[in-house]
Structure 1
Amino acid sequence: MQTHSFGSTGLMVSPLGLGAGQIGYGGMDDDAAGRVLSHALDLGITLIDTAHCYGDSEERIGRHISHRRDEFVLSSKCGHAIAGHDDWTPGIIRPGVEDSLRRLRTECIDIMHLHSCDARHLEDGSLADELDALSREGKIRVVAYSGDNEDLAAAVASCRFASIETSVNIADQHNLRATVPDAAAAGLGIIAKRPLANGMWRHAERPTGEYGDYYWDRLRELAYDVDLDMGEFALRFSAFAPGVCSAIVGTTSVDNLSKAADAVDAGPLPDAVIAHVAERWHAVSEGWDSRT
C-alpha cells in the first residue's frame, strides 16, 4: 500500500488506517487483537488510531506491535476521563499523555488529539499550550483535534492544531464540505473516521439503539444507485475525499481488514460516481450535520 504526505506535518500515511477502538472493547481476546494489529502492518497500513478511553486498545498496541514502532504512525487522544483531574482543563493533558506513552510502550506519540472537546474549552488556548509543551519535549509530534461541526470549525479557525480527525462518509458529509476544505488549505493532516457509516446498509430494517442508527435513515433518503459493493463504495469515497489523508476502519477480523485494503487499493471512485454522490447529497441533506 502506498503512502503519502499527512498534510504539512512531515508524516507519511497510507490512505487506509486502522481504527483500534474494537481492539480494546470489541469483545476480542488478546491473541485475536494481536493478529489484527500485526496483519494491519503486514498489509502496509501505516496509521494506527487509538485513545486512552478505548478499553485495552493502547495496552494491546504496546504489547503486540511496539517492537514494530518504526512501521507506523501512532495516533491517540486525550483531554478527559483521567482520575483526579477535571475534564478539559490544562492539568489533565500531561498525565493523560504520559499514561498513554506508558501503555503504548513508546517514547513519542505521533499525533495526539484533543478528543471531542467543545469550542468553549478551546477559547483561551490553554489546552493547546499544554500539548505544545509536550511537543517541545518530544513526547508528541503533532498537536491535533478530533471532533465535528461547530467545535471542529472552531478548532481549525484557532490555528493551534496541525491535524484533525472528523466524520466523513457517504451519509455524513457536513464536515467534509464545511470545514475540511479550510483545514486542507492550511496544510492540516486530515483523518476520516466512520468511513463505512457503521455499515448501516446491511440492515433490512432500522436497527434499534445501535450506534449511528441515523445513518440508516439517511441512506434510505440518499438512495445511492451505484454498481459497486456498498462497503467498497463507502470506503473509497471516504479515503479519497478531497483533503482526506487517511480513513480509519475498525474491525475484529483480519479478513475484513484485507477486504478494506483491497478496496482502497482500487483507488478513487470514478468521476461519474462522485458526481452522483454530490447530486444526491445536495438533493436531500439540508439541515444534516454530524452527530457524535
Structure 2
Amino acid sequence: MIEQRPFGSTGLTVSRIGLGAGQVGERDVTEPQAERLLRGALDLGVTLVDTALSYGASEERIGRHLHDRRGDFVLSSKGGSGVEGHEDWSAGAVRASVEQTLRRTRSERVDVFFLHSCSLEVLERGEAQDALDAEVEAGRVVVAGYSGDNEALAYAASSSRFGALECSVNVADRWNLHHVVGQDPALGVIAKRPVANAPWRFDERPTGHYAELYWERLQQLRLDPGPLGWTALALRFTAHAPGVHSSIVGTAHLDHLRENVEAASAGPLPPEVVAHLDEAWDRVGADWPSST
C-alpha cells in the first residue's frame, strides 16, 4: 500500500500520491470509466482526491461513485470564482462555491477547500479569506487553503490565513519549492503537475499545447532520465521533495495511476541523480518563475 503521511499540522492524513480528478470530469470519460478510476484509486491506497468546481462533472462523479466511501479519503476542492450570480472572490462566491461542492460530492464537509488561483491583489483585500474562515467555523470546511504559484503563493504562505497550499512542483518548475514549500512545516502541501505535463512525449516543440513551456525548459536543462525513465524520475523527484506531503496525478486511466503509485513508492531518487538535477537547475533555471 502507498505511504500515508500527516498533512502538515491539519490533523488530516494523505497518501504520498493523490488523484487529481480533473480528467474524471471530462466529457469523453464514460461513467463506468470514472467509477472504475475513482473506486480503484481508493483500493490502491490513494487517500487524497483533488477536484474543483471548474472540472466539468468531476465533483458530481465523486459524489455518485464515492459517497459510500466518503470516510476513506480526504476530499479537496477549489473555487471562489465563476459562480453565477456572484462577483469573483466575493464572500458570496466563496460561500456558494463551498455549497456547490458539498451538494455535488454528497458530503457534509470538504476536508480542504482552496481559493483557486486568485491574485495577490485579491489576497491582500482579505474578503475571500474571511469568507473561507466562516465556512471553517460553520464546520462545512475543515482546512482553508490557497492554490496558486509564485508571489501570491508566498503571500498566502506567510499570511497565517491558510492551513494548506497547492502549487506546481516538478523537475522543470522549482520556484515554489525553493521559495515557499517547507518553510512552514505546519502547512499541508499538495504538489500539482508532478510530471510537468509529460513534455517528453513530443519530439518537436508542441506549439500551443499546455506542455510547451515545460518542453522548452527541458531542452535548456538537458536532463538525462537514465534507466529510470522520465515518468519515474519526475514522480520520485516531486513526491519526495522536502515539504511536499502529496503529489496529485491527473489521469482517467486506473492502470496509469497504478504505475504512478508504484513509481513513487520506490522511494527518493538516488543522491547522484538529485545532484544531476540540481546542477542543471542552478545552471539555467534558478530565475525561472513557476508556471501558472
5 Å-filtered alignment, 1:143-222, equals 143-184=144-185, 187-222=186-221
Distance apart, 1:89 and its partner CA: 1.3
- Residue in 1 aligned with 2:290? 290
For 2:238, the equivalent position in structure 1 comes to: 238
Structure 1's unaligned 5+ residue stretches are none
What is the TM-score of this pair, normalised by structure 1?
0.97
Distance in 2 of aligned mates of 1:124 and 1:87: 13
Where does the alignment leave 5 or more consecutive residues of structure 2 unmatched? none
**8 Å CA contact retained: 2:19, 2:50:** yes
Residues in 2 aligned to 1:202 and 1:29: alpha-carbon distance in whole angstroms: 25
Structure 1 CA distance, aligned partners of 2:62 and 2:163? 24
One-letter identity of the residue aligned with 2:225? V
Residue correspondences, number: 290
Q: CA deviation at 1:291?
A: 2.2
Provide closer, same or farther for how the CA distance between residues 161 and 276 of structure 1 changes in structure 2, counting only shifts above 3 A: same
Q: Is the 8 A contact 1:88 1:117 kept in 2?
A: yes
Q: CA deviation at 1:287?
A: 2.9
User: What's the offset of the Cα at 1:182?
Assistant: 2.1
Q: Distance in 2 between matches of 1:192 and 1:257?
A: 16
SS state at 1:242 partner? coil
286 and 3 in structure 1: CA distance in 2 versus 1, 3 angstrom threshold: closer
CA RMSD of aligned residues (A): 1.0
CA contact (8 A) 1:170 1:197 kept: yes
> SS in structure 2 opposite 1:4?
strand
Amino acid at match of 2:291: R
- Opposite residue 70 of structure 2, the aligned amino acid is R
Query: What SS does the aligned partner of 2:241 have?
Result: coil
**d(CA) in 1 for partners of 2:28 and 2:272?**
40
Is the CA contact 1:73–1:110 (under 8 Å) kept in the aligned structure 2?
yes
SS at match of 1:211: coil
The answer to which of 213-222 and 26-35 deviates more is 26-35
Normalised to the residue count of structure 2, the TM-score between the two structures is 0.97
Are the equivalent residues in 2 in contact too, given 1:26–1:252 (CA < 8 A)?
no
User: SS in structure 1 opposite 2:197?
Assistant: helix
Residue pair 2:182, 2:244 contacting (<8 A) in 1 also: no
Q: In 1, Cα distance between the equivalents of 2:277 and 2:12? A: 30
Offset, 1:264: 1.2
